[in-house]
Amino acid sequence: MCADMNRAVIFLSVLSLFFSNGTMALENTTAEFDSVGITVSLLNHRENDAFKQRINLAPFNRLNITVRDVPSDIWFIVLQIHTFQYNATLSYDKALLDKVSNRSLFGSNIGLYLKTYGITAPIQVFLKHENVYNLDALLVIITYGRNAPIPGGCNMEFDIKVSPYQKLHAENGMILVDTQPASILFSNGSSISCEKSPIQHKMYRLYLPRQDFTSDTYFDAITRMLTVQDIVQNGDEIPAGTLTSSMRRIYSAYTGTGSVYAMVAIYENYSSAYVPIFTYACSPLLYPESCKVLNDAFSHIICALVLIIGCLSIIIGYKYPSIDHSLPSCMIGGILGYIIALNTGDYSIAINVLIGSTFAILAAAISAVLGVCTWLRNISLGFLCACITYLYAPAWMFYVLEHNWLFWPMFISLILATTILLMTISYVAEIITRAIFGSYFVIVAIDYYTGSNLKYIIITIIRRITIPGFNLAFVYPPFQGAGMSL
Ligand SMILES: *[C@@H]1O[C@H](CO)[C@@H](O)[C@H](O)[C@H]1NC(C)=O
Ligand SMILES: *[C@@H]1O[C@H](CO)[C@@H](O)[C@H](O)[C@H]1NC(C)=O
Ligand SMILES: *[C@@H]1O[C@H](CO)[C@@H](O)[C@H](O)[C@H]1NC(C)=O
Ligand SMILES: *[C@@H]1O[C@H](CO)[C@@H](O)[C@H](O)[C@H]1NC(C)=O
Ligand SMILES: *[C@@H]1O[C@H](CO)[C@@H](O)[C@H](O)[C@H]1NC(C)=O
Ligand SMILES: *[C@@H]1O[C@H](CO)[C@@H](O)[C@H](O)[C@H]1NC(C)=O
């Protein structure tokens, strides 16, 4: 280590801070400065407590983290580092900090399992980061008793033997989160066989406010997903699909909306939490543009056009029925064109949107020339209803929706049912269609500028059609004010 590096190092003594199991208080810590690293005392901590400490590391710095005074009823701890935007390395061995190995871990939501019961050697891990900026991080230690399942104890795939962390991978409008099964130590010292493990795993998700990339919001969200009690209280449980491994979850990505994923392992009355993992579904730091869904001048213009058409439809639509009647075919044409564009080649978004709009205009023109087909309009409304139903279907429906052979017949029957229903009440239908399409156009356009999630009504179905494997994704959107006004 560079001797000249001025290391601010802290000794923390943490005294009876806890009011009840799992509740945490971020804490009245006293700090002392010497040159060893951070020493955390777990005196007076009980099972399932969370110790939390914000740390700030100078560029290219390293830190020794030592844990001491571990009460004797604590059998193991999960020591976690959550960094804001930058990556860091956490390692069991000082010598391995510079290598990729099976005893060190690189990332921004990382954590290691440390056995504490009957250990005499100092309990120590090493943190390093190689960013040219200060590293803003949260150090977390969660304590567990002898009966708690060991997160990642039955690891078969990750590099580190016991891997309480999760892996997140974002691609193609999907977010994949992978975890390794937990293990358990019986009181007679034997552990369960990992093949037929009786341990139950549950996955939870928490959304952040959309387009909020501040560190305070980030750390606040992480803090709410650390202990089992907090996770169950703050997160939404996500069902496992029947077509994917029970240790994997796939989500539809909401670009620019942060989300925290947490996993809980439960065995009888005991439970433990994995290291939560986080994503914005884009990189606000490296590619800020990636955090907007459609992000060029061209889509601004399209949206302005859509807004104008929508307003026209609402304001003067009853005077000029032809504008009004071509709106639905315009929308369906647009979506069709966009899907065709996506499937036929690797064009940029702008070209895809252009092809989509060409189709939209063509469809509108055709329906205007051929006169008004009522059924076409009603089918479009049925389509919109089916899309909304898909997006907002309750969690238990996921078991049905993930199967393509069940989903598509249901989707089409729903369109047909809505269409037939509207045919039977054609006068009402006309009013409804006009109101809904007009306002949907207006809302989608406004939505584009304000960034709410309404556009995902259409985006989700487009993803379902164009992205292979998207049927396995959980699509339910974040609840956020503006979105529900449709
Ligand atoms: C922290 O503890 C010190 C003494 O132990 C006390 O004077 C101080 O008021 C406490 N601060 C808070 C925020 O509780
Ligand atoms: C970290 O601890 C090791 C011993 O485990 C010691 O040699 C080293 O100087 C410490 N480094 C820092 C930065 O405190
Ligand atoms: C952090 O690491 C991941 C995976 O290696 C990488 O994709 C990402 O760009 C890194 N982030 C930064 C800020 O370097
Ligand atoms: C970790 O890596 C070392 C050296 O590469 C190897 O000897 C050791 O068996 C590995 N341990 C595990 C658990 O894979
Ligand atoms: C240890 O206990 C568990 C359950 O309490 C039991 O299933 C297992 O067979 C026991 N193992 C040994 C070696 O006694
Ligand atoms: C679990 O808790 C219930 C109620 O607190 C208790 O009756 C039961 O014996 C416990 N089971 C185990 C295996 O400890």
Query: What pLDDT, on a 0 to 100 scale, did the predictor assign at position 277?
Result: 96
pLDDT surpassing 50 at residue 190: yes
The protein residue with its alpha carbon nearest to ligand 5, atom 4, reads: 186
Which residues of the chain does CATH 2.60.120.380 include? 32-288
Which ligand sits nearest to residue 191's alpha carbon?
5
pLDDT surpassing 90 at residue 285: no
85 CA closest ligand 3 atom index: 13
The protein residue with its alpha carbon nearest to ligand 6, atom 13, reads: 268
55 CA to middle of ligand 5, Å?
43
104 CA to middle of ligand 4, Å?
11
Out of 40-54, 58-72, 192-206, 366-380, pick the least confident. 366-380
Name the pairing type of β-strands 50-57 and 30-32. unpaired
Which candidate, 131, 40, 34, places its Cα nearest to that of 89?
131
Evaluate: CB of 161 within 6 angstroms of ligand 4: yes
What's the mean pLDDT in 86-100?
82
What's the mean pLDDT in 450-465?
77
282 CA to middle of ligand 3, Å?
11
As to burial, measured by CB atoms within 10 angstroms (0-12 exposed, 13-18 middle, 19+ buried), residue 100 is: exposed
Which candidate, 247, 98, 245, places its Cα nearest to that of 166?
247
Long-range contacts of 392-395 (CB under 8 A, 24+ apart): 392/476, 392/477, 393/476, 395/236, 395/237, 395/238, 395/239, 395/474, 395/476
Which candidate, 270, 51, 55, 205, places its Cα nearest to that of 142?
51
Out of 142-151, 317-326, 335-344, 462-471, pick the least confident. 317-326
Mind listing the pLDDT tens digit for each residue in 230-272? 999 999 999 888 888 889 999 999 888 899 999 999 988 899 9
Evaluate: CB of 102 within 6 angstroms of ligand 4: yes
Evaluate: CB of 169 within 6 angstroms of ligand 4: no
Residues with CB under 6 A from ligand 3: 85-87, 285-286
Which ligand sits nearest to residue 185's alpha carbon?
5
102 CA closest ligand 4 atom index: 1
CA 2, CA 432: separation in Å to the nearest integer? 72
**Model-level pTM?**
0.81
CA 47, CA 69: separation in Å to the nearest integer? 14
Evaluate: CB of 36 within 6 angstroms of ligand 2: yes
283 CA to middle of ligand 3, Å?
9
What's the mean pLDDT in 72-97?
89
The protein residue with its alpha carbon nearest to ligand 4, atom 14, reads: 102
Q: Residue 345 — very low, low, confident or very high, per pLDDT cuts 50/70/90?
A: low
By most ligand atoms within 8 Å of CB, the mutation choice from 55, 94, 127 for ligand 2 is 94
pLDDT surpassing 90 at residue 372: no
Q: Is the model more confident about 196 or about 251?
A: 251
Whether 224 and 164 have beta carbons less than 8 Å apart is answered as no
pLDDT surpassing 60 at residue 12: no
Which ligand sits nearest to residue 30's alpha carbon?
1
The protein residue with its alpha carbon nearest to ligand 3, atom 8, reads: 87
CATH 2.60.120.380 fits 32-288, yes or no: yes
32 CA to middle of ligand 1, Å?
15
Out of 122-126, 186-190, 355-359, 467-471, pick the least confident. 186-190
pLDDT surpassing 80 at residue 166: yes
159 CA closest ligand 4 atom index: 14
Which candidate, 174, 168, 235, 181, places its Cα nearest to that of 203?
235
What's the mean pLDDT in 190-206?
85
For residue 46, the 8-state DSSP code is -
Q: Residue 353 — very low, low, confident or very high, per pLDDT cuts 50/70/90?
A: confident
122 CA closest ligand 2 atom index: 5
Which ligand sits nearest to residue 14's alpha carbon?
1
The protein residue with its alpha carbon nearest to ligand 5, atom 13, reads: 190
Query: What pLDDT, on a 0 to 100 scale, did the predictor assign at position 81?
Result: 95
| Mean model confidence pLDDT for the chain | 79
pLDDT surpassing 50 at residue 295: yes
